């Protein structure tokens, strides 16, 4: 399979062609993942067929540290063998693998996933969230303290994590389709997590209702869950009515208003980015990285909302941001997911990319809702922005059985372009795809073609000519 290199903000192959990747996440969050369960899922009859029909050429494959190392120093070698077998099967079908060590809320001990319980400080505990799985990030002390201990390497927890990664990655050193390693899913800040969340809530109330409230005063007792409930009751007393709730939705469905809500919050994240996260990224890629693979880095958890982010990178670095509308994972996603909000977040990610001068392969984006298909137009809007910026992307939780989603997602895109991409544009309504590129003279002597995935058809190949090229494809 092809080897790649970063050329400023583009990924190129050995021919010098600009490459685009489109994929899906396959993530196992279980703390006790068996080799049998993994094999049973990935060898389902239609999985590979569905991926190839949708033009998937990259899979972000996630497991947890607890599944990899259920007991200290004892690794799940049977699971690793099955993961490697699947990676080899993907290689046979031209699909690249991004290995992801996944975490949410640091550990299953905090009603999330990630680190094994044997590594968690026994003094840390929290209660089950009220409604949304991510509540631990918003106000629970145990989650924040667990991350603080990780970033400060207390009890050598970070060392142990890097040791686990080194063991895991070394098993894939001979796999030709490992495009990179995503070392830590959605790294959470070392401190100020609750402060950031409460600041956003306070600004939303001020922007929408003119009420300036210090919500930190509600978190004074030892029962943080009760404190959170009191805060929610205060917010409910401000909203008061369904009409005022709709007013809130209207105000926050605005690029300008959402920008105001997160403006200036980088003061709480910049130090973390430059000290803890930079040091971690530099260290782990040196100690656990693979020679012929990229080092993927994500922005911190709160930069999912568009808060500016920047670290120092090199020629092996790939920026792999995540972006979702704020109503993701809630019943409101179908009715109130916002193109205005997501455009602010994606525009911010573009600014981050331009500052760091690295390629982007989106690690997570997407969504879904059980109560209608309005959200699919939101997905189409996001894909239009990906095309605008020539971004590769990996969908979270893709549902191959959703025909409406397939109509949007399963579209043409360029696998490889001889030169520099100038325009990618898909007209889903009229089923028309347009690609424009500038081709250098050096391709006259190369045995390389521009390759375009077209649903239901063989890969479209064109030699192109030196200079400007344009092609339109009906699909």
Query: Is position 415 within any domain?
Result: no
Q: Residue 370's pLDDT is what? A: 86
State the virtual CA torsion across 290, 52, 469, 383 in degrees, nearest 10: -80
The reply to whether 101 falls in a domain is yes
Residues 375 and 313 in one domain: yes
Q: Is residue 363 domain-shared with residue 445, that is, in the same domain?
A: no
Domain-terminating residue out of 385, 410, 435: 410
Which of 410, 430, 457 is the C-terminal boundary of a domain?
A: 410
At 302, is the secondary structure helix, strand, or coil?
helix
CB 69 within 8 A of CB 116: yes
Domain-terminating residue out of 264, 284, 316: 264
The model's pLDDT over 261-308, given as tens digits with 9 standing for 90+, comes to 999 999 999 999 999 999 999 999 999 999 999 999 999 999 999 999
- What residue numbers bound the domain in which 69 lies? 4-191+269-410
For residues 199 and 282, membership in a common domain is answered with no
CB 56 within 8 A of CB 24: yes
Please, which residues have CB within 8 angstroms of residue 57's CB and are 6 or more apart in sequence?
A: 21, 22, 23, 94, 95, 96, 415, 453
Q: Is 73 left (phi over 0), alpha (psi -120 to 50) or beta?
A: left
- The residue with tokens 């943080």 is 224
How many separate domains does the chain show? 3
Q: Please tell me the distance from the alpha carbon of residue 475 to that of residue 473, in angstroms, as a whole number.
A: 6
Residues 221 and 340 both lie in one domain: no
pLDDT of residue 131: 87
Q: Do 170 and 73 belong to one domain?
A: yes
Q: What's the pLDDT band for 460 if we cut at 50, 70, 90?
A: very high
The answer to whether the pTM exceeds 0.85 is yes
pLDDT digits (tens, 9 = 90+) for 409-450: 999 999 999 999 999 999 999 999 999 999 999 999 999 999
- Residue 55: which CATH number? 3.20.20.80
Q: Are 325 and 333 in contact (CB under 8 A)?
A: yes
Rounded CA-CA distance 254/339 in Å is 9
Q: Are 181 and 296 in contact (CB under 8 A)?
A: yes
Q: 180 and 35 share a domain?
A: yes
Q: What is the pLDDT of residue 43?
A: 94
Q: Which residues pair with 438 in a beta bridge?
A: 420, 468
């Amino acid at each position: 399979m092809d080897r790649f290199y970063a050329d400023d903000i583009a990924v190129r192959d050995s021919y010098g062609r600009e490459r685009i990747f489109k994929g899906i996440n396959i993530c196992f969050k279980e703390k006790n993942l068996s080799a049998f369960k993994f094999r049973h899922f990935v060898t389902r009859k239609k999985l590979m067929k569905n991926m190839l029909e949708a033009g998937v050429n990259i899979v972000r494959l996630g497991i947890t540290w607890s599944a990899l190392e259920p007991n200290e120093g004892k690794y799940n070698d049977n699971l690793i063998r099955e993961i490697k077998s699947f990676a080899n099967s993907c290689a046979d079908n031209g699909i690249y693998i991004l290995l992801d060590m996944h975490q949410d809320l640091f550990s299953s001990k905090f009603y999330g996933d990630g680190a094994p319980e044997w590594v968690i400080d026994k003094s840390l505990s929290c209660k089950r969230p009220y409604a949304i799985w991510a509540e631990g990030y918003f106000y629970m002390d145990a989650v924040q303290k667990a991350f603080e201990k990780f970033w400060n390497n207390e009890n050598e927890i970070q060392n142990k994590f890097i040791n686990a990664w080194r063991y895991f990655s070394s098993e894939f050193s001979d796999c030709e389709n490992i495009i990179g390693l995503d070392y830590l899913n959605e790294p959470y800040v070392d401190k100020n997590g609750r402060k950031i969340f409460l600041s956003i809530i306070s600004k939303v109330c001020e922007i929408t209702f003119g009420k300036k409230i210090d919500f930190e005063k509600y978190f004074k007792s030892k029962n943080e869950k009760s404190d959170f409930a009191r805060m929610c009751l205060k917010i409910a007393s401000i909203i008061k009515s369904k009409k005022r709730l709709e007013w809130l939705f209207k105000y926050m469905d605005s690029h300008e208003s959402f920008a105001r809500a997160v403006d200036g919050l980088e003061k709480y994240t910049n130090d973390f980015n430059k000290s803890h996260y930079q040091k971690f990224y530099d260290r782990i890629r040196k100690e656990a990285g693979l020679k012929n693979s990229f080092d993927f880095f994500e922005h911190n958890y709160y930069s999912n909302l568009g808060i500016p982010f920047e670290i120092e990178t090199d020629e092996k670095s790939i920026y792999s941001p995540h972006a979702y509308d704020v109503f993701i994972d809630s019943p409101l996603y179908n009715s109130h997911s916002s193109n205005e909000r997501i455009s602010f977040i994606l525009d911010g990610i573009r600014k981050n990319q331009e500052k760091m001068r690295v390629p982007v392969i989106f690690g997570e984006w997407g969504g879904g809702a059980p109560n209608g298909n309005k959200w699919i137009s939101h997905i189409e809007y996001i894909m239009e922005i990906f095309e605008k910026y020539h971004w590769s992307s990996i969908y979270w939780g893709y549902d191959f059985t959703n025909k409406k989603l397939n109509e949007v997602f399963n579209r043409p895109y360029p696998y490889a372009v001889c030169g520099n991409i100038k325009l990618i544009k898909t007209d889903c309504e009229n089923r028309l795809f347009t690609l424009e590129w500038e081709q250098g003279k050096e391709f006259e002597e190369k045995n390389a073609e521009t390759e375009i995935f077209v649903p239901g058809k063989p890969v479209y190949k064109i030699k192109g000519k030196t200079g400007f090229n344009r092609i339109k494809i009906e699909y």
